[in-house]
Amino acid sequence: MSSVHLWLRHETRSTERRAPLVPHDAARLVADGVRVTVEESPQRVFDVEAYRAGGCHVTPAGSWVDAPDDAHVLGIKELPDEPAALRHTHIFFGHAYKGQDGAGSLLARFAAGGGELLDLEYLTVDGRRVIAFGYWAGYVGAALGVLAARGALAPLHPMERAELDALVRAAGADGMSALVVGAQGRSGRGALDALLAANTVLDGWDREDTRVLDREALLDHELLVNCVLSTTPQPAFVRPEDLTAPRALRVVADVTCDVTSEHNLVPVNTAITSWEEPARRVGDDPPLDVIAVDNLPSLLPREASVAFSADLVPLVPTLAGRRGPWREALRAFVAAQAHRAGGPRAVAPGPS
């Protein structure tokens, strides 16, 4: 592994406290001969001294712009607007292959500098993502759902799991009827764990269970946690006409957050909610609240980082050769650049 140089950058977004590589794993990589450089970062949930103690080289925030050419610059969220030309390999969530806002200009910056984007979202094996923040998204989403159902949901801030668990315990969810849909996925498993710990009366449905949708049974739960990765049209779980129908359902924790998608399975909701106002009332008689926070893992930055980093580390040995999932990420980048330049799309983009 000795030829790889990972450069963990400071995150531009001030609310982003997560790190894709945690100190413990960075130390393991260093012990394996990987060069790891870590930028100082005031908001990162891990102290830079913990990286230094593990043998990482520490450097000022934002110094990646002057990093040696062989540095693989690692981050989570968006890059700063400068420099205009990107000459390094960057590993982060670029959100640049589906025509998102700013996608064209980001790809143009890579073209200008000859750099390369290995998008974390496109690290796949057999079309399935191998690294994602889903588990803790589901865990937090379900916990917030419990709090909302018990009238105990306050404005949100990043916290440790123990604090969130204590809030849920204090709210008291014993016997609450809860349903997780998409239960076998990453976020679904996190949601199930949170709801089991909260002593709810729990159901978990996945693809097989919604093939013929029993909406009456679905609406008979007080809390619905939607964790479905929806890629094809299918009957919605909660439709506008269900707002006035007899139902036990009081809260939808919409982890999926497909609020503007044609595949939105909770079309009673069409907008995300915020940390300041995490729940929105969409029905009154009886009440129905929806939670659609689109950056749930950032609320548990430590736990989310530890899980993500554990998935990233085993991929590092194949990075230098761009093998395995890295090859898929590179193919997606090359295809997107070709498409941007007016050519045919050579490879279909990976999953969202």
Ligand X SMILES: NC(=O)c1ccc[n+]([C@@H]2O[C@H](COP(=O)([O-])OP(=O)(O)OC[C@H]3O[C@@H](n4cnc5c(N)ncnc54)[C@H](O)[C@@H]3O)[C@@H](O)[C@H]2O)c1
Which residue's beta carbon is nearest to the bound ligand X? 185
CB of 187 to ligand X, least distance (A): 3
What number of other Cβ atoms are within 10 A of residue 102's Cβ? 12
124 and 130 Cβ atoms separated by less than 8 Å = yes
Give the nearer residue to ligand X in terms of CB position, either 275 or 339. 275
Task: Give the footprint of ligand X on this chain (CB under 6 A).
Answer: 132-134, 137, 181-182, 184-188, 205-207, 210, 227-230, 234, 255-257, 293-297, 352
CB of 261 to ligand X, least distance (A): 9
Give the nearer residue to ligand X in terms of CB position, either 51 or 205. 205
CB of 213 to ligand X, least distance (A): 8
Give 251's Cβ-side CA count (13 Å radius). Answer: 26
Catalytic pick among 77, 98, 221, 339: 77
What number of other Cβ atoms are within 10 A of residue 247's Cβ? 19
Report residue 277 as tokens: 């106002």
User: Can you spell out the DSSP letters for 175-223?
Assistant: T-EEEEESTTSHHHHHHHHHHHHTT-EEEEE-HHHHSS--HHHHHTSSE
Angle at 239 between CA 186 and CA 194, to 5 degrees: 30
CB of 309 to ligand X, least distance (A): 16
Residue 95 among the catalytic residues = yes
CB of 299 to ligand X, least distance (A): 9
Question: Using CA atoms, how far apart are residues 40 and 59, in angstroms rounded to an integer?
Answer: 6
Give the nearer residue to ligand X in terms of CB position, either 38 or 282. 282
Query: Order of strands, edge to edge, in the sheet holding 287-291?
Result: 201-205, 177-181, 223-226, 251-254, 287-291, 279-284
Give the nearer residue to ligand X in terms of CB position, either 31 or 271. 271
Give the nearer residue to ligand X in terms of CB position, either 19 or 71. 19
> Which position has the token pair 């924790």?
253
What number of other Cβ atoms are within 10 A of residue 101's Cβ? 8
Catalytic pick among 24, 95, 263, 339: 95
Question: Using CA atoms, how far apart are residues 275 and 296, in angstroms rounded to an integer?
Answer: 9
Residue 90 among the catalytic residues = no
Question: Using CA atoms, how far apart are residues 60 and 3, in angstroms rounded to an integer?
Answer: 23
- Residues labelled catalytic: 77, 95
